[in-house]
Amino acid sequence: MTAPDLASLTSSAYQQALEVIASVEPRIAEATRQELADQRGSLKLIASENYASPAVLLTMGTWFSDKYAEGTVGHRFYAGCQNVDTVEALAAEHARELFGAEYAYAQPHSGIDANLVAFWSILAHRVEGPWLANAEKKNVNDLTEADWESLRRELGNQRLLGMSLDAGGHLTHGFRPNISGKMFHQQQYGTDPETGLLDYDAVAAKAREFKPLVLVAGYSAYPRRVNFAKMREIADEVGATLMVDMAHFAGLVAGKVFTGDEDPVPHAHIVTTTTHKSLRGPRGGMVLATEEYAPSVDRGCPMVLGGPLSHVMAAKAVAFAEARRPEFGTYAQAVADNAQSLAGGLLSRGAKLVTGGTDNHLVLIDVSSFGLTGRQAESALLDAGIVTNRNSVPADPNGAWYTSGIRIGTPALTTRGFGHDEFDRTADLIVEVLRNTEPGTTKAGTPSQASYRLADGVADKVKDASAEMLDKHPLYPGLDLA
């Protein structure tokens, strides 16, 4: 089918779908139309967002949504799941081939769910299994109340070592307010205070001292690559399970931008990911594992998860099939190249970047050099049509709410076709907004961490400049909802 024919079919499909929705709740149909208009008209630089293909989006709107399917392929707790079995098996097959993994579990509803499945799978494999063997119990159904009390103490006294939030880790890597920080006795490793880079010797020293059951690698706001071979050496030395959260950079792994020591799959025992972000699929999660951990991960439902979202698993299968095409590798390389262009453009205009640059898909700007908090910068940029998110920087004096940083990424605009020139121009627009924003004051006249003033005319000027680029790279070209 030719591209014009496909675009026409897509447009017709969405027009008719919105008419059906509007017949029940027109305000939802209108909000959906407006969301497309908003995304088309803004520079989306949130590193964790992307644009899924129409094929992926349409796959989620089917009657697979109506199915309960607790269990696994061929072993469901509900009848009539033969088609769900096909969907889940295809999603797992494509994922294994795409990432070179021994085992893939496509049921998690999100990245946090995927991490919970991984944590409890490690506990089941490393703690529950040996405990049952030592207690001469075949399974948990044989446990007395006294046995349960003893096993709960074992499960609740394990150690996790993960990357700190201000160094670029994720809240699920042991952050106290998150369940991961409550499940485990946890400690965190940071980055070098001078360079902002991972110091593997320091990580190793902390691991030797703390002796964690789980060593978590991966990041949410670290703008550099990680040597996962070194992280595996550290884990092996202290007897830890290496778990890698590659939610942010899964697309760079799938597209073979990260290979060798920078590809986590050959080195980690368990790898978790979201399926959107740089992978460009539906919102959801996934776990990859070695065969050793597969039986434990396979118990994700009912251990942690409820019924799988079959319609989303179907969309994951479609997205993974797309990512196995050669053009996805071209896209992934462009994401990394464009991040270099964005970082270079910012540096040349005087912006301060954490670690001094990037070699993945994201850039972290320290906006304190502009006299702003992250919240002020985020709000001013949004006023000018540039969508970002505030983020902590190492040793952030403003904490995790107001922050001192802005995290930006290239996956979404690369999907729209932006290249070097557009990202350099985008850097120029970002700096123009930040330079023309002043912090505000509270009602008492003291400095505010939230209020700000963007100079008159700057927002409209930046929006006009953005529109010139966006019009050349339309989002979902041919899709007309008028």
- DSSP per position, 354-415: GGGS-SSSEEEEEGGGGT--HHHHHHHHHHTTEE-EEE--TT-TTHHHH-SEEEEESHHHHH
Q: Please, are residues 333 and 255 in contact by the beta-carbon 8 Å criterion? A: yes
DSSP 315-362: HHHHHHHHHTSHHHHHHHHHHHHHHHHHHHHHHHTT--BGGGS-SSSE
| Amino acid identity, position 230 | K
E-strand spans in 197-319? 214-218, 241-245, 270-274, 285-289
Phi, psi angle pair for 440, to nearest 5°: -95, -170
| Mean per-residue pLDDT of the chain | 95
The pLDDT, as a whole number, for residue 181 is 84
The pLDDT, as a whole number, for residue 481 is 81
Q: Please, are residues 104 and 288 in contact by the beta-carbon 8 Å criterion? A: yes
DSSP 40-89: HTSEE--TT-----HHHHHHHSSGGGG----EETTEESSSS-HHHHHHHH
Closest to 348 in 3D by CA, of 271, 262, 426? 426
The pLDDT, as a whole number, for residue 1 is 63
Q: Which domains does the chain show, CATH number per domain?
A: 64-323 (3.40.640.10), 327-472 (3.90.1150.10)
The whole model's pTM is what? 0.95
Q: Please, are residues 11 and 478 in contact by the beta-carbon 8 Å criterion? A: yes
The pLDDT, as a whole number, for residue 139 is 82
Q: Please, are residues 215 and 240 in contact by the beta-carbon 8 Å criterion? A: yes
The pLDDT, as a whole number, for residue 140 is 83
Show which residues are catalytic. 68, 70, 245, 274, 277, 283
The pLDDT, as a whole number, for residue 10 is 86
The pLDDT, as a whole number, for residue 4 is 67
Q: Please, are residues 350 and 432 in contact by the beta-carbon 8 Å criterion? A: no
The pLDDT, as a whole number, for residue 3 is 67
The helix (H) or strand (E) run that includes residue 21 is helix 3-22
The pLDDT, as a whole number, for residue 5 is 79
Cα 106 to Cα 110, 173, 288, 315, 348, distances in angstroms: 10, 21, 9, 11, 43
Token pair of 69 as six digits: 């399917």
Q: Please, are residues 62 and 290 in contact by the beta-carbon 8 Å criterion? A: no
Quick one: CA dihedral 156, 161, 165, 169, positive or negative?
Answer: negative
DSSP 412-437: HHHHTT--HHHHHHHHHHHHHHHHTE
Token pair of 414 as six digits: 């690369």
The pLDDT, as a whole number, for residue 371 is 97
Query: What is the distance between the alpha carbons of residues 379 and 351, in angstroms, rounded to a whole number?
Result: 18
Alpha helices in 272-325 (DSSP H): 294-297, 300-303, 310-323
The pLDDT, as a whole number, for residue 122 is 97
Phi, psi angle pair for 77, to nearest 5°: -95, 0
In tens digits, the chain (482 residues) has pLDDT values of 676 677 788 888 899 999 999 999 999 999 999 999 999 999 999 999 999 999 999 999 999 999 999 999 999 999 999 999 999 999 999 999 999 999 999 999 999 999 999 999 999 999 999 999 988 888 888 889 998 999 999 998 899 999 999 999 998 888 888 888 888 999 999 999 999 999 999 999 999 999 999 999 999 999 999 999 999 999 999 999 999 999 999 999 999 999 999 999 999 999 999 999 999 999 999 999 999 999 999 999 999 999 999 999 999 999 999 999 999 999 999 999 999 999 999 999 999 999 999 999 999 999 999 999 999 999 999 999 999 999 999 999 999 999 999 999 999 999 999 999 999 999 999 999 999 999 999 888 888 999 999 999 999 999 999 999 999 999 999 888 87
Taking residue 435's Cβ as centre, other Cβ atoms within 10 Å add up to 15
Q: Please, are residues 455 and 436 in contact by the beta-carbon 8 Å criterion? A: yes
Alpha-carbon Rg of the chain, whole angstroms?
A: 23
Token pair of 427 as six digits: 């850097």
C-alpha distance across the termini of the chain, in Å: 24
